[in-house]
Amino acid sequence: MTEFFGPLLGVMRADNLDHAIELVNQTGYGLTSGLESLDPREVDYWQERIKAGNLYINRGTTGAVTLRQPFGGMGKSALGAAMKAGGPKYTAQFMDFEAVGPPIDDAAQKPHLLLTLSRRWQQQLVEGEFQGIESDIENTIRAIQSYLVQTEREFSRRLDYFQLRGQDNILRYLPVGTVAVRLHEDDCLFETLARIAAVIVSGCKLRISIPEELDTRVTRFLDTKDGRRLIGRNPIVYELDKGLIKSLPIIDRIRYAAPDRVPRDVQRAAAEIGFYIARTPVMMDGRIELLQYYRPQSICNNFHRYGNLGERAPEFE
């Protein structure tokens, strides 16, 4: 199947909305998709199930405006981490970030298991536990706090930067799916714990992938009581690179801790099918690290009817 970007019209008949969504999603491509409907139930149902980067409701599916409708797709219509052109995070993919200090974030407000765990670890640090790995645990605590705050502030919200009368322009972030955190003998404890925490905070499904016979301070910590508190019931898979490659069809992203730790065979296999491997340095700052675990989606909804705002008119009085 080949994507044709040009003046080509294809018409297919669907039995119902579910069938139409199925036809769209099975292509594997997902640049833009549109729906014409005056039934808000249909609109909500459609936008929660369609797999495309830009969704248009009751308007044309071309003419994306910078920032108002940041542009970029999903699936085979996406490149790399799929950061949208014209969006607030677009330039991040061209930058090399370096941590020069802990992130400065407000305290997380919503209850979360990792918030409870981080407070427990903080108390254990005060009591002199974690000897020899204090800095790794301290940085992980800071990372968890930042991930939770940035999720509350941005990644879990529907953002509309313009608030136009008659048109919603929503930017939201969707979890990428199943993320394999792949360990390497050079990984430090912070790089591993922070990646695991980011997967959990983002709402992705966690799969910890450990090379067979790898025995490091990191793997030993994961087998401790504190390591198991973080991992919970999420699976740990011991596999060679060949096994990791075979798992590509059932996972959505692999997260390495650094570019030079990705084996050539894994890179080659991923490139053949357009699979994105996240391999940027692990950051404590949630604004940067969490970009590896979400897909941005733009939703443009013309809710006015020839200037009539209907039941939403009171919002603009």
Is 49 inside a domain boundary? no
Q: What does 112-160 look like in DSSP terms, one character per residue?
A: -HHHHHHHHHHHHHHTT-STT-HHHHHHHHHHHHHHHHHIIIIITS-B-
Is 18 inside a domain boundary? no
**DSSP alpha helix (H) spans, 208-298:** 217-222, 225-231, 241-246, 264-273, 286-289
Domain harbouring 137, CATH code: 3.40.605.10
Specify the DSSP class assigned to residue 121. H
Question: 9: which 2 tokens?
Answer: 């019209």
- Match 């998709």 to its residue by tokens: 33
Residue 80 has pLDDT above 70, yes or no: yes
Is 267 inside a domain boundary? yes
The predicted structure's pLDDT at residue 153 = 94
Is 172 within 8 Å of 290 (Cβ atoms)? no
Query: For residue 100, what are the β-bridge partners?
Result: none
Mean pLDDT calculated for residue range 94-119? 90
pTM of the complete model: 0.93
- Match 């922070």 to its residue by tokens: 194
Is 25 inside a domain boundary? no
Residue 317 has pLDDT above 80, yes or no: no
Q: Which residues of 253-275 are buried (b: 16+ CB within 10 A; e: fewer)?
A: bbbbbeeebbbeebeebbeeeeb
Separation CA 155–CA 174 (nearest Å) = 8
Mean pLDDT calculated for residue range 59-69? 90
Confidence category of residue 106, pLDDT binned at 50, 70, 90: confident
Confidence category of residue 13, pLDDT binned at 50, 70, 90: very high
- Tell which residue, 74, 59, 78, has the closest CA to residue 25: 74
* φ and ψ at residue 73, rounded to 5 degrees: -105, -165
Specify the DSSP class assigned to residue 250. G
- Tell which residue, 245, 58, 71, 264, has the closest CA to residue 168: 58
Confidence category of residue 1, pLDDT binned at 50, 70, 90: low
Is 53 inside a domain boundary? no
Is 134 inside a domain boundary? yes
Separation CA 270–CA 289 (nearest Å) = 21
Is 162 inside a domain boundary? no
More reliable by pLDDT, 80 or 256: 256
pLDDT tens-place string over residues 136-159: 999 999 999 999 999 999 999 999
Is 255 inside a domain boundary? yes
